[in-house]
Amino acid sequence: MDESVRIHSQQKWSICASELKIAFLFNGQSSGTSGLSAGSQKWQSILKMDFRIIKWMITLVVSSTIYETTHGHDYCHSYQVINDRTRAAGLARGNVLRCDQRDIPTARWYRFTGAAGTQMPTKCVPINRCGTHAPGWLSTSHPTRTGQIINGKACFHWSGNCCRWSANIMIKKCNGFYIYKLGRTPCCYLRFCGNGGFGDDGCTNYLQLNDRTRAASVPRGNILKCDQYDMPGDPKWYRFTGASGQMMATSCVPKHYCGTHAPGWLSGAHPTSVGQIVNARVCFHWGGSCCNWNTNIQIKKCNGFYVYKLHKTPVCWLRYCGNAGFDVCKVSNPCKHGATCAPKNGGYTCNCKSGYHGVNCEHDVNECNTRPCRNGGTCENLPGSYRCKCKPGFLGNHCEIAYDECRHYQVLSDRQRAAGVHRGNILKCDQRDLVTPKWYRFTGAAGTQMPTSCVAKHYCGTHAPGWLAGSHPTRVGEVVNRKVCFHWGSNCCNWNAYIRIKRCNGFYVYKLARTPVCWLRYCGNAGFDPCRTSRPCKNGATCVNQNGGYKCLCKPGYQGINCEQGKRHETSIFLKKHFYCNHYICKRIWTRKRLQSL
């Protein structure tokens, strides 16, 4: 036989009941419903039927559960979708009333999804919700096993009665969702509702915000939106999805975006663990303030998404915004001190450079708190870094190296430092070039040591050249304090600075600091010949250049550094016939007594 036979329960089934109502459907047409007692003639006729006619489907009645198999058909893959936002139980009805006595004329399988919710609510829904007067809700439970089909009851709330009207429906559990076989409601205005925005569990009862104009990256059009109008009534759970984004933007959104004047963004963090609910603040950007208005909300972390308990905004035109396409790094780059900005879900992350921390890398790390300086060094915190001031005898970034000045020094080898080289057009100054006191060695084109006599002005790459007004130490390892003079005007020591000098094995090192003013400079002795430059030796003495200094070889009868002093003789000379001469002056004497100098 080619007919398909389906046995469905039209009322509650009870296997032990004495009265059953069975509808026989041949080729989808009802043959009527009969009241059958267990011993009646009709019941005996059914028992004698050839069960081969039940070719395509077997219905097993166990308690109130029906397992149905139908040839080549699975309603989990063949259903109508109900995703209309007005079907959400959490949404107050508008001015246009809807009624499923008109909208669902024929019984079919339906699935709630999108803005309508994910399933029918299982608690009494307040009147005037769900786009109608009397909203429908499921007063029985859902099936628990995949593939299971059960009979259920939908109640419609009106006039203080949560079940003023009712309708019998069927429910099937599919893989991850439910479908409902719904028919016409008993009267108008009644409607089957989804759980969108209804109930305490925001992860299953929420309204969707999927409008593209809510995206923080989309400039507003000519039609302004305002959530003071669009979110009336009590706070409800909402989820950003689709073209609006996956979550609320977490950084300041530019004005005139997101379909409004003052876009709203989350000034705070999202919850981190599934099921966690946090209180947070939403800011609305207007004028010069990213938080000109604000309102408090709740956020819940669900499995793979967030929901937000939102209410109407304080004023118009304000709107909650999703993160779709929003890149705050391109809009404002909030990261400070050279940090790298990386967009992240409508917000951003700042990858700070070493020495900074904070959301925007705005805070300087005080590295001195970790005491990085060793061997008694003093730590100085700097923006993004630090500096160790070492005690004498130590060097290195952390004063970790015990050093000998004869091995650890800076080299001054620039030809422009030579006392024998006239300055060029570019003036140098050691007030700028030698900021920190250090040990230096003159070498190369600059010379081998500092000159020890006055250097002519406009030499050594500066106006007032510096020279050593004193002697060098004579023993290896000896350290002495000395004065450096700077020649300007007619004064070979117009300015001065005190330094330290150490004699090493074959050379000298100098601890030099900033000069008193500009343009002053410490000079090397290369090319410098004071004998030729200033001719310091007097009274016909011979000048000998000595490494930037000089020595005067005095003629007989003269003395002093520059042979500037005449000698006084203490010996007496006797002449014959009573004459005594001293310094070419002769006097007559009458005795032979030895005389002292006159």
More confident residue, 326 or 120: 120
- Residue 148 banded pLDDT, cuts 50, 70, 90: very high
Q: Which of 47-61, 153-167, 445-459 shows the lowest mean pLDDT across its residues?
A: 47-61
**pLDDT (0 to 100) of residue 14:** 34
Residue bearing tokens 């700042």: 350
- Residue 139 banded pLDDT, cuts 50, 70, 90: very high
- Residue 529 banded pLDDT, cuts 50, 70, 90: confident
Q: Is the pLDDT of residue 545 over 50?
A: yes
Query: What is the domain partition of the chain in residue ranges?
Result: 76-192, 207-326, 370-402, 410-534
What are the Cα distances from residue 496, in Å, to 183, 442, 480, 486, 491? 106, 19, 16, 6, 11
- Alpha carbons 254 and 161: distance in angstroms, whole number: 49
**pLDDT (0 to 100) of residue 585:** 57
Q: What is the mean pLDDT of residues 564-575?
A: 59
> Domain 370-402 has what CATH class?
mainly beta
Q: Is the pLDDT of residue 53 over 50?
A: no
44: DSSP letter: H
Q: Which of 2-11, 102-111, 201-210, 406-415 shows the lowest mean pLDDT across its residues?
A: 2-11
Q: Would the CA dihedral through 572, 573, 578, 584 be positive or negative?
A: negative
Amino acid in position 269: A
- Alpha carbons 503 and 362: distance in angstroms, whole number: 49
- Alpha carbons 312 and 200: distance in angstroms, whole number: 19
Are 373 and 402 a contacting pair, CB within 8 Å? no
Q: Which of 31-35, 216-220, 228-232, 516-520 shows the lowest mean pLDDT across its residues?
A: 31-35
**pLDDT (0 to 100) of residue 48:** 52
Percent of the chain whose predicted confidence (pLDDT) is above 70? 81
Q: Is the pLDDT of residue 38 over 60?
A: no
The model carries a pTM of 0.39
- Residue 569 banded pLDDT, cuts 50, 70, 90: low
**pLDDT (0 to 100) of residue 384:** 84
**pLDDT (0 to 100) of residue 40:** 53
**pLDDT (0 to 100) of residue 355:** 87
Q: pLDDT digit string (tens) for 281-323? A: 999 999 999 999 999 999 999 999 999 999 999 999 999 999 9
**pLDDT (0 to 100) of residue 178:** 96
- Alpha carbons 404 and 101: distance in angstroms, whole number: 100
